[in-house]
Structure 1
Amino acid sequence: MSLPGPFSDPRVLTLLGLLAVSTVVWLSLGLRARARDRRDRARSPLERIWHPQESVELTPAEEHAFGQVVSRLDLGSAGRLR
């Protein structure tokens, strides 16, 4: 039984079949790589971020100024600092 129209050519069917198979392979390899990346990220500890206050002592005046700034911060309606 042959298909009517442009699908009657076996080359078209072969091309569509190859396109379908390559798409499935491409998607499965991409999903597999994403899952592997997630697993690797879950196993590794978070990177330590150095903060200047860890090694530089603040003077009492600097600590007071910092506390004044922080006390004026509040969360806006969208949950962002303003």
Structure 2
Amino acid sequence: MTLPGQFSDPRVITLFGLLALSAAVWVALGLRARARRERANTPLERIWHPQETVALTPAEERAFGQVVSRLSLGAAGRLR
């Protein structure tokens, strides 16, 4: 079956084919990106940290407190 008039030109058929192909690729990539974004919103696995089960000695707690106090923000909002 042949198409009537200007639609029988191979260039027009090629143009419509390329438009259909690019639309299909665009939709597929959009769906893939959406799935990736939704997967990124899922909560991460809980990570075990050694401090959860290992008690610190008083010297370790003091050293940790000194490091934290140095990292706290100063009056101008900058690290000390």
TM-score higher than 0.5:
yes
| Runs of 4+ displaced beyond 6 Å | none
Q: Secondary structure at the match of 1:38?
A: helix
Which residue of structure 2 aligns with residue 12 of structure 1? 11
Residue number among 56, 63, 66 corresponding to 1:68 in the alignment? 66
Distance 2:33 2:64 in 1: 42
Distance 1:60 1:66 in 2: 10
Distance 2:49 2:26 in 1: 41
Which residue of structure 2 aligns with residue 5 of structure 1? none
Distance 1:12 1:51 in 2: 64
Which residue of structure 1 aligns with residue 55 of structure 2? 57
Percent identity for Structure 1 against Structure 2 = 46
Change (3 A) 1:25 1:72: same
Structure 2 unaligned segments of length 5 or more: list them: none
Q: Deviations over 1:14-68 (max 9, x none)?
A: 22222211111111122222323434444x4321112121122111111110111
Which residue of structure 2 aligns with residue 31 of structure 1? 30
Q: Deviations over 1:58-80 (max 9, x none)?
A: 111111101111111146xxx9x
Q: AA paired with 2:67? A: V
Deviates more, 1:47-56 or 1:63-72: 47-56
Deviates more, 1:63-72 or 1:25-34: 25-34
Cα RMSD of the aligned pairs, angstroms, is 3.0
Distance 1:74 1:31 in 2: 43
Return the index of the structure with the highest Cα Rg. 2
Structure 1 unaligned segments of length 5 or more: list them: 3-8
